[in-house]
Structure 1
């Protein structure tokens, strides 16, 4: 069981006002509804249950997803050779092979924690054997953060999972399946759609210990998701992201990414993104153009056509939305 020190409790104060300022987009899928509750009826306090998130498991992630996840992040490692981005036209012509896409918000200052409201689409379950991996949204506060909290859509299972960058061999650690039990405890409705609240914080600077939490709406407290300490393969300072990320294979039958038709109507969204900008501070500094950057909306179709996938910066830089 994880217990915070007084400093840790101060640092881990809740992302309150920023988390409440969310307005998520619409999805055409009929998602299982959590208990009738709206974010406007809740205040995220500094209560910590000192209990683990319910339903955490290990060993349920496809082996291919770990390879893909590492491949996606290797360009950001120390001394990594920079690769030229794929150049595409506004209307994508037939392509072949695999395509990695990402888009989101990147801190431009040193941060020591981050919090956000992340959308989930429980009814989007890719079929068994599906070649594509969807990580959206995925949150890493900074390069030195041990934990990346990832909303995953993989073959046969949706989850919220922690990727541990501080292990000797980085990889998936623990995760929880996005099902009716999860949505009942850990989601609320925003604009008619379920979102969960997450924060990842530096809880011990001396050992570079990071802890991630999910807000439990039934107990009005933060449940501990995962804790890790050590060093990461990234540069020592800066970095971090909150983004949409897809690893897709070309489907010659449809002439687009394999995920496109299986996720029609989906909305992937992050909102109320906020940072801790000093050690010991709560993540209450709203992401903005003063402390983060967001690349221009790509002009390509996201590998999908009829219609094309769309990306939108809803509020600079605390809310973004990707719609299929």
Structure 2
């Protein structure tokens, strides 16, 4: 999630732990009824593996915590910090170079990504994202966002796979309305049984109304073979005309090693974003060098064994720490 400072990584974690303990994130996926009426969804380029991208949209939303309960995970101070970084980004002379700018301004913030451009009037993005339900950030203030997906074209929603000190979650970040977490879901066994296959889930974020800049995030339900609505937002967002599918962290330096805590936290693990596609001029196609840019591959974030590479340029990336 392209964020600024620790607006999602300190007191919010304590609030999230309390919310989970209180049962506000209770999952009832086992009781989801059979999908009924479908509103339909655009038919993207067929995926080589994974979800059926041309499947219909169900009328059954993915369970999770929403609204004010989700927004409470941010303190007023964190929100103010976010807005200051938001203004910093707006002033950036070259938006594709903002990762280095943010790194310089944000201690512990690291970002590696592919960046879909806004050329061709994009109206949607799709990817399959890996999940590691048992991964936790060892340092209480750290957070690992991997992968995190945001469409180009001034979109309203970012899909984030987040690993905190006390939980592993998926959430929708609302860029157009609350500018905070719009909906949050824990990666529990019920979520995995319904939305995860081969260690990954399928996510699609579409523009559904150009006049109001309305965007909808969907997750693929492998049980019903349909797309379940996750979150919807609308309104102006004049800052982010490009998008990203990223490996992002907020990680303090471990004084015992002189390196970020995530160097050890990610040992023996890999993170993938596969078959990233963008809808351009009404047609879905995998990202290539003609409609996206990338950060350099190789060792990243000051971790000697943390390597980033593209297994299919620019549509499938892998970050691993063997």
Q: Is the 8 A contact 1:288 1:317 kept in 2?
A: yes
Task: Give 1:149 deviation, angstroms.
Answer: 0.7
Q: Is the 8 A contact 2:171 2:183 kept in 1?
A: yes
Task: Give 1:100 deviation, angstroms.
Answer: 1.7
Partners of 2:307 and 2:84 lie apart in 1 by 21
Q: Say if 2:217 is the partner of 1:181.
A: no
Partners of 1:257 and 1:264 lie apart in 2 by 12
In the alignment, what sits opposite 1:321? Answer: 318
In the alignment, what sits opposite 2:276? Answer: 273
In the alignment, what sits opposite 1:59? Answer: 70
Task: Give 1:268 deviation, angstroms.
Answer: 1.4
Partners of 2:45 and 2:195 lie apart in 1 by 16
Q: Say if 2:250 is the partner of 1:247.
A: yes
Q: Deviations over 1:64-88 (max 9, x none)?
A: 89669948973774234677938x9
Partners of 1:72 and 1:100 lie apart in 2 by 15
In the alignment, what sits opposite 2:285? Answer: 285
Shift in alpha-carbon separation, 1:154–1:63, aligned structure 2, 3 A: farther
Shift in alpha-carbon separation, 1:15–1:141, aligned structure 2, 3 A: same
Q: Deviations over 1:233-290 (max 9, x none)?
A: 515xx31111111111111112211222222112111010001113xx36x2111112
Q: Secondary structure at the match of 1:17?
A: coil
Q: Is the 8 A contact 1:74 1:80 kept in 2?
A: no
Q: Say if 2:158 is the partner of 1:158.
A: no
Aligned match of 2:146 in 136, 148, 165? 136
Q: Is the 8 A contact 1:274 1:286 kept in 2?
A: yes
TM superposition outliers: structure 1 runs of 4+ over 3 Å: 42-45, 55-58, 60-77, 80-84
Structure possessing the higher relative contact order (Cα contacts under 8 Å, 6 or more residues apart): 1
Q: Secondary structure at the match of 1:115?
A: strand
Q: Deviations over 1:185-215 (max 9, x none)?
A: 00111xxxx1000000000111110000000
Structure having the larger proportion of residues in helix? 2
Shift in alpha-carbon separation, 1:295–1:174, aligned structure 2, 3 A: same
Greater Cα offset, 261-270 or 155-164:
261-270
In the alignment, what sits opposite 1:232? Answer: 237
Q: Is the 8 A contact 2:146 2:246 kept in 1?
A: yes
Q: Is the 8 A contact 1:115 1:199 kept in 2?
A: yes
Aligned residues: 274
* Within-5 A mapping of 1:40-55: 43-55=52-64
Question: TM-score when scaled to structure 2?
Answer: 0.75
Question: TM-score when scaled to structure 1?
Answer: 0.75
